[in-house]
Amino acid sequence: MPSLRRAKPAATQPTPTGPDAPASSTPTGPDAPVPLTPAEVAAQRRRRRTGTLIATPGALYLLIFFVVPLGLITVYSFATRTATGRTSLSGWNLDSYERIADDVIGGIIARSAWLAFLTTVLCLVVAYPFAYYLATRPPRLRARLLVLVMIPFWTNGLVRIFAIRFLLGSNGPASALSEAMGLGTFRILFTPTAVVLGMVYGFLTFMVLPLYVALERMDWRLVEAARDLYASGAKAFWRVTVPLTRSGIVAGCVLVFVPSFGSYVVPEILGGAKTLLIGSYVARQFQAARNWPLGAALSVLIIVAMLVAVAINQRNSANAERTQGVAR
Amino acid sequence: MSDDAAPAATPPGVPAVEMHGISKRFGEVVAVDGIDLHIGDGEFFALLGPSGCGKTTTLRMIAGLDIPSEGRLAIFGEEVASLPPDRRPVNTVFQAYALFPHMTVAQNIAFGLQMRGIRGPDADRQVAEATTLVQLEGMEHRRPSQLSGGQQQRVALARALVNHPKVLLLDEPLGALDLKLRQEMQVELKALQREVGITFVFVTHDQEEALAMSDRVGVMSEGRLLQVGTPTEVYEHPANRFVADFIGRTNLLEGVTEGPSAMRLDAGAVVAAPNELAAGTPAALSVRPEQVRLHRHGEAPEGEPCLDGVITDATYLGHAFVYTIAVGPTAGAGGTNDGDRTATITARSETGSAALAAGESVSVSWTPAATTVVAD
C-alpha cells in the first residue's frame, strides 16, 4: 500500500504553488499529532484555496464600502472643524467627544434612548401574544400567517411612514374619527408619541420573528409538566414559557432597540421640531451644520452602543444553548 | 372483539381511579373507545399495548392533560373529568421526563411545592427527602442537561413524588434508558412503589416490563381495553387472539372448535383443547414455545395432543435452542409452502438436551392444560 500512497499526490498536484508548498506537506513539529500524508495535505490546501476564492468578492465589497468608511468616520471624529466649516485633518483632539456631554446633545441622546426604550417595550408587549398565536397554529396556517407578517416588511418603508403621517395628520381619518366622537381635534402628529407609534410599526417585524422562532422551538410538554405540577395557566407561562423563550425576547429587544435608537427616517417624517433625535442630529452635522467631526463622534457612539447590544445578544444565545441545548 | 374487560379481582375499598365509559376523540380519530376500569388503592397497574393503542391518551385523561369526550372519571371517589391538571391529586412522570431545562435539579423538584405555596424550610426539607429517596444527593445544583438519562429519570420521579400525589402516572418512564439500566430501574421502581405506598399507573408497550412490575395489567388495542388481570392471568389465560399474541411469544394454531374439549386444527389433527366457545367457531390454539415438547418422529407420548413436522430452523441462544418446525400433513414431504395445511411452531429446549438440526423429522406434543383457545 505505501507505494500507492506516494503515487497519489504526484497525480493530484498539477499546480505546485510557490517554493514553500512542499515544505508544508510534512508537518514534523512536536504538536503535529499525526503527520498527514501528502495526499491529505494536497486536499486540504485545495479546500483552503477554494474557500478563499469564493469569499473574496464579499470580503472586498465589505472592505471597500463598510470597513474603509467606518475607519474614515473614526478618524474624522478626532479631527478639528475649521471656522469655515471645513474639516482639518490635523491637530487631533477629543473635542467632539467632550461635546457629547453637552446639555443639548446629552438631552438628544437621552431622548433617543428613552423613545427607543418605549418602542422596544411596546413592540414586546404587542409582538409576544402575536408570536405566541402564530407559533401555536397548525403548520400550514403558520406559513401563511408568516407571509402576512412579512408583507409590510417588503413594502417600501418611506411609503408606509407617509401613510402613517396621513393617518395621524390633522386632516386624516384618526382626527376625523376623534371629532365625530366629540373628542375634539386629534393632535398627535409631530409629537414623540407619533414617533414611537411609527417606530413600533416599522420595527415590529424584528420583534415578532425572533419571538416566533423561540416559541416555535418551545417544548410544550414542559408547559404540560408545569400544569401537572399545580401551576395555573398564567403561572406556567411566567415560570416556564417566558424563561424558555428568553433568547427570543433578548434578540428581539436588541433588534428593535438598536435601529430605534439611531432612527432617522421615522422621526424626520413623524416627529416635530421638539423631537429631534440623534439620527437626525447626526445628519444635520454632516449637512447643514457642516461639523463633520461632531457627526462622526456621535456616529461612533451609536456604533459602540450597537456593539454592546450585539455582545449582550451573543452572550444571551450562548447561555440559551448551554442551559437548554441537551435537555431538549 | 370480546371486550369483556371484567374488572376481576379489583381490590376492595374506594378505587384510586375509576373510569366508566371513557372515550376520547380527536376529530375523526377515536383514540380511546369506551373504557371501564377500576384501579385499586396502592396498586401497581400497567396499561400495556402497542403504540397508538390509546394507552397514553388514557393516562393523560387521568392527569387532566386531555379531557374525555365521554364518560365519568373519578379519583378516590371525586369526580375529576372536567378539572384542569393543576387541580387533580395526581402527578406524572413524563415520557422523556420533560424536566425544566432552565432550573437546577433542586428547583425542578421544588416546583410543585412552590406552586402550592409551600416555601422556606418546610419546602427545603421535603426537597431533601425526595432527593434522598431517589438517591440524587449531591446533584441538587446541576442542570438537567448535565445529568445522565438514568439520573434525569430519577429527577422526574422525585419532582412528582415530592408532592405526595394520590396517584402517580408514569408514561413509558423507562423507554429512553438502555436495556441494563432499564432492568435495574424496574426493580428500583417496584421497590419504591412499595416504600411510598402510592398507586402507580404505568404505561408501557413492553410486555415483559408490564409483567415483571405490575400487580395487574390492562391490555389495550385500538382504543379498547381487551383484558384486565394479574400478569399470570393475562399470560396463561389470554382473553382473545390479540392478547395471546401480544403478551409473550406464542404459537397460534388456527382451527375450528369441535365442542367444549376439542378443536380441529388446520394443520390436520383433532386435538384436546378445553374451551368455552360454541362448536364450529373459528379460533386459534395458543401454545407457548416453552410448553412445546420435541420428540423424535413418531415417539410422542400416547394421549397428548401431537403433530408431526420438520425442523426448518434451529437457533442457538446459549441457554436454549429455539426451533422452528413446520407441522401438518404435507410438511414431511417438503411441502412447506402449502399455506393452508401447514403451520409453523416455535419450540424452546434447554441446551442440555441433544441438539437437533434443520431438516430432521420430529413430533411435537403439549399438555392440553397449558394451552388456551382464543377467538378474535
* Number of structural domains chain A divides into: 2
Size of interface A-B (CB pairs under 8 A): 79
* ipTM > 0.95 for the complex: no
Residues of B in contact with A214 (CB under 8 A): none
Residues 6 or more apart whose CB falls under 8 angstroms from that of B79 comprise B72, B73
A91: in domain:
no
Asked whether residue A140 falls in the same domain as residue A276, the answer is: yes
Strand order in the sheet with B44-48: B90-93, B167-171, B199-204, B44-48, B216-221, B224-229
Neighbours of A210 (CB within 10 A): 24
Contact of A318 with chain B, judged by CB distance below 8 Å, is answered with no
Asked whether residue A55 falls in the same domain as residue A164, the answer is: no
Q: Are A292 and A222 in contact (CB under 8 A)?
A: no
Q: Which of residues 216-245 of A touch B (CB under 8 A)?
A: 219, 221-222, 224-233, 235, 239-240, 243-244
Q: Are A190 and A272 in contact (CB under 8 A)?
A: yes
pLDDT the model gives residue B274: 86
pLDDT the model gives residue A31: 58
Q: Are B45 and B215 in contact (CB under 8 A)?
A: yes
The average pLDDT across B273-288 equals 88
What are B32-68's pLDDT values in tens digits? 999 999 999 999 999 999 999 999 999 999 999 999 9
- Between CA A294 and CA A100 the distance in angstroms is 8
Residues of A in contact with B159 (CB under 8 A): 229
Asked whether residue A55 falls in the same domain as residue A113, the answer is: no
Closest CA to B65 of A235, A234, A227: A227
A79: in domain:
no
Q: Which of the two residues, A25 and B269, has the higher pLDDT score?
A: B269
Q: Which of the two residues, B9 and A317, has the higher pLDDT score?
A: A317
Look up the CATH superfamily of B249-374: Nucleic acid-binding proteins (2.40.50.140)
- Residue B336: pLDDT over 60: no
- Between CA A290 and CA A296 the distance in angstroms is 11
pLDDT the model gives residue B12: 66
Helix (H, G, I), strand (E, B) or coil at B171: strand
- CA of residue A303 relative to chain centroid, distance: 11
CATH number of the domain to which A273 belongs: 1.10.3720.10
Asked whether residue A44 falls in the same domain as residue A186, the answer is: no
Neighbours of B138 (CB within 10 A): 9
A87: in domain:
no
Do the chains contact at B145 and A244, CB–CB below 8 Å? no
Instruction: Domain ranges for chain B, please list them.
Output: 17-245, 249-374
A76: in domain:
no
Backbone angles phi, psi at B216, to 5 degrees: -135, 155
Contact of B94 with chain A, judged by CB distance below 8 Å, is answered with yes
B191–chain A nearest CA distance, Å: 24
pTM of the model: 0.79
Neighbours of B72 (CB within 10 A): 14
Mutate to test the interface with B, among A229, A244, A245 (most CBs of B within 10 A): A229
Percent of chain B scoring above 70 in pLDDT = 92
Closest CA to B203 of B188, B217, B183: B217
- Between CA B336 and CA B329 the distance in angstroms is 10
Asked whether residue A113 falls in the same domain as residue A166, the answer is: yes
pLDDT the model gives residue B351: 59
- CA of residue B185 relative to chain centroid, distance: 17
Domain B17-245 part of CATH 3.20.20.60:
no
- Between CA B45 and CA B148 the distance in angstroms is 27
Residue spans of chain A under pLDDT 70: 1-33, 322-328
Phi-psi group of B259: left, alpha or beta (phi > 0 → left; psi -120 to 50 → alpha; rest → beta): left
What are A112-156's pLDDT values in tens digits? 999 999 999 999 999 999 999 999 999 999 999 999 988 888 888
- Between CA A303 and CA B30 the distance in angstroms is 59
* Among chain A residues, CA nearest to B101: A324
A8: in domain:
no
Domain boundary among the residues A46, A68, A90 is at: A68
**For residue A248, what are the domain limits?**
101-323
Do the chains contact at B86 and A222, CB–CB below 8 Å? no
Q: Are B363 and B306 in contact (CB under 8 A)?
A: yes
Q: Are B133 and B26 in contact (CB under 8 A)?
A: no
